[in-house]
Each structure stands twice: as C-alpha cells, then as structure tokens.
Amino acid sequence: MGARASFCYRSAMPATPAWPPASTPRLFVDQPLGPDAAPTLDGAAAHYLLNVMRMKPGDPLLLFDDRSGEWLATVADASKRALTLRVERQTRDRETVPDLWLCFAPVKKARLDWIIEKATELGVRRLQPVITERTIVERVKRERLEAQIVEACEQCGRTALPELADPVKLPALLADWPAGRALLFADEAGGAPLARLDAPAPAAILTGPEGGFTTRERELLLQAPAVRRMTLGPRILRAETAAIAAMAAWMAAHGDWRAAGEGADAGAADII
C-alpha cells in the first residue's frame, strides 16, 4: 500500500478578547473598595462616564482608592446624574513607589501643572512646594494641584497617590530636614553628576524658581549636611525641565525602572 499523507485539521477558534478591554475607563474614588462594594459616583465623574464615555449597565471600569490597590467594577445602575457600581475583583495591589521627594519652587500656572503631572507619572512619593527668594508664585491652589495629581494617576496607572505637602520657605525646609535623607541640590552653578553622588532612597531633589537660587540661598544650602550638589549638564534648563530631568535621572539610577523592565520581560516569557 502506498504511503498515506496524514492531515490534521483545526477549526479556527477566535481569540478570547482581553478583559477588561484596554479602553476601559480608570478612575480614582475617595472611598474604600473591596469585594462586593457598591460605590456611587455623581458630579463630574458621573457626567464624564455617562455623557462622554456613554457607559451603561454592565460596562466595565477600573477603580483605585489609594488604599487597597486597583479593582475591576461594572456599572450596576445608571441614572441621569449618577452611577451605582459593583466591584467584581481586585486587579492589582497598591504599589510601593520609590522613596523620592521632589522639592520645587512653584512656577507659573501651566508649567506648574506640567511639573505635577510628570513628577506623578515618574513615580514621586512626595511633592513639596518650596518658597524661595525669587519665587514668583507664592500662593499655591491646593485643590488644583490635587486634581492634577489624580488625573495623572488615572492616566499612568498608579495605584498610590503622591503626598502633596503644604508650601514651606527654604530656611524652614532645611531646618526641619530629616536625618538620613539626601537632598540633591540641582545647582545651575555646577556640581557632580548623579552617578558620582551617594544618593539612593530615601532621597529628595530640590529645584529652584525661574530666576534660580540667590547667592545667600546657595550658601545656606551648601552648609546643610544632607545636601549634595548635582549638575544637570552643560545647558541652562527651565525650572520645570530641571525638575523632570533630575527625577528621570534618579529613577533610572535608583528607582523602580529596572525592576519594571525585568518584570515586563518575565511576564512576556510566561505568556510565550
């Protein structure tokens, strides 16, 4: 008998769609979440979900509460101005962010918003406004900054909100500085590259206002035991650029960027 070819036929099975979908809305709720919780949303959040996202009963969304991590929920009931949700399951624990503070002199409105947004995305633990001699913006609208923090956390996937401290004058900041926390002073007059400074967590970064630090402030800073002078390169940077450049450099050297990369690689290998 002649050899017979053997064929194996497989029915084409559709791939199971990801759940929840990547487009699932993600919101911060200032109330405890847990299994079978039924939070109610109204106001701006409800308006966004009902009138912008056009959500209806059964639609999924992700919630985080800055306490217990992230949770998958579905819309249980929707009226014209409010939604009742049903929490289904936890999707992530509350993250542990690197112990890095950003101490910054407040700048003009749009640029201040940019500092808050990007520092939150990069993983800062504490945001500390510092009033210096050349600070133009001395009154900070806390509610506005808190809204920027929440929005940035919703967009970047954070489950832990950074702490927002009240503004403090530079001499008071230095007088109450905690022992054991390095203070990286981004000095436009010079300093050492971050790679040559001993500044792992716990640490903080200090950046100045549009006009920079005064001579008196620089002398005060250089007398403080915790201060490490850090250079950010040969070019003059805007105040907001300096803050984010310094944070990015620290996160790459001492933060959680490498751990995140290793986790992503391991996850990809598991899927394969």
At 269 the pLDDT is: 37
Q: How many other C-beta atoms can be found within 10 angstroms of the C-beta atom of residue 147?
A: 14
User: Which tokens belong to 154?
Assistant: 């919703």
Identify which of 98, 104, 100, 99 has the alpha carbon closest to the alpha carbon of residue 206: 104
At 16 the pLDDT is: 52
Q: Does residue 52 sit in the same domain as residue 134?
A: no
Segments of the chain assigned E as strands = 26-28, 40-41, 60-64, 70-78, 83-92, 100-104, 126-131, 163-164, 168-169, 182-186, 203-207, 227-230
Is residue 271 in a domain?
no
Q: How distant, in Å, are the alpha carbons of 131, 179, 241, 242, 268 from that of 188?
A: 18, 25, 12, 9, 42
Q: Does residue 87 sit in the same domain as residue 129?
A: no
Provide the β-strand partners of residue 182. Answer: 203
Q: Which positions ≥6 away from 130 have C-beta within 8 Å?
A: 103, 104, 105, 167, 168, 169, 170, 173, 206
Is residue 253 in a domain?
yes
User: Which tokens belong to 266?
Assistant: 């391991």
What is the biggest distance separating any 2 CA atoms in the chain, rounded to whole angstroms? 100
At 270 the pLDDT is: 38
Residue numbers in the chain where pLDDT is lower than 50: 1, 3, 5-9, 263-272
Q: Does residue 137 sit in the same domain as residue 80?
A: no
Looking up residue 71, the CATH number of its domain turns out to be: 2.40.240.20
Q: Does residue 85 sit in the same domain as residue 157?
A: no
Looking up residue 162, the CATH number of its domain turns out to be: 3.40.1280.10
Q: Does residue 104 sit in the same domain as residue 85?
A: no
At 5 the pLDDT is: 46
Is residue 2 in a domain?
no
- Among 53, 73, 92, which residue terminates a domain? 92
Q: Does residue 161 sit in the same domain as residue 81?
A: no
At 267 the pLDDT is: 39
Is residue 171 in a domain?
yes
Q: Does residue 112 sit in the same domain as residue 244?
A: yes
Q: Does residue 108 sit in the same domain as residue 225?
A: yes
User: Which tokens belong to 238?
Assistant: 């805007």
What is the domain extent for residue 116? 100-259
Round to whole Å and give the CA distance between 73 and 267: 24
Is residue 232 in a domain?
yes
Contact present, 73 and 63 (Cβ < 8 Å): yes
- Among 44, 64, 92, which residue terminates a domain? 92
Q: Does residue 110 sit in the same domain as residue 83?
A: no
At 258 the pLDDT is: 74
At 203 the pLDDT is: 98
Name the pTM for this structure.
Answer: 0.86
At 9 the pLDDT is: 47
Q: Does residue 106 sit in the same domain as residue 198?
A: yes
Q: Does residue 68 sit in the same domain as residue 145?
A: no
Q: How many domains does the chain have?
A: 2
Q: Does residue 119 sit in the same domain as residue 182?
A: yes
Is residue 117 in a domain?
yes
Is residue 12 in a domain?
no
- Among 63, 92, 121, which residue terminates a domain? 92
Is residue 264 in a domain?
no
